[in-house]
Amino acid sequence: MSEQLSDTPREARRREFGVRLHELPLLIGLIVLWMMLWHEVSLLSALSGLIVAVFVMRLFYLPPVELAGRFNFWWALKYLAYFLWHLARASWGVAWLAVRPGPPPKTSIIAVKLATRSDFIMTMVGLTNSLIPGSLVAEIDRFESTLYLHVLNTPTQRELTKMRREVRTIERLLVHAVGSKQELQAMK
């Protein structure tokens, strides 16, 4: 805190510029979204989108997401293949549960403690699990790095253990694909 107070005006402007530079993709994305909503690409829609985007960004301030700055193409492909395979397999499984005769399947809420403390990785793991049919993130405990999932078709402890293992596999794949070096060490 005292370090920030002793900054010269030039250093303070440089830090402010760095923060604004990180917000640039969000600003551009909001402007494009605004133009898509109005089905019009024009100077007027871009300017009105800029005004609305700046207003929204100031009203609903989000802290910057810190990325590791690394990307491993091979692990990203492995993650994508894992996701697509489980997406197809789970879609068939849920479809069968919907049409099969018999009682409705048992469901559970499970807690899965993640190894990483990265908000980005935790969000990506949660989104991936929510996109795969049969599981849905009910809650995230950010401070404990714990995902609470609502899981379909869990009549025994074996299915619960399998689901926890799948969540940790997704986390491992994402950390290897986009995680920091410290997160990679924590996974080992």
Domain range enclosing 12: 2-59
Residues 102 and 161 in one domain: yes
Residues 26 and 50 in one domain: yes
- Phi, psi angles (nearest 5°) of residue 140: -125, 125
- Separation CA 63–CA 79 (nearest Å): 27
Residues 124 and 175 in one domain: yes
Domain tally, the chain: 2
- Separation CA 42–CA 35 (nearest Å): 8
Residue 123 located in a structural domain: yes
Cα dihedral 68, 70, 74, 76 sign: positive
Model confidence over 124-175: pLDDT tens digits?
999 999 999 999 999 999 999 999 999 999 989 999 999 999 999 999 999 9
Residue 68 located in a structural domain: no
Model confidence over 107-119: pLDDT tens digits?
999 999 999 888 8
Residues 110 and 17 in one domain: no
Residue 164 located in a structural domain: yes
Mean pLDDT over 72-97 rounds to 95
pTM beyond cutoff 0.75: no
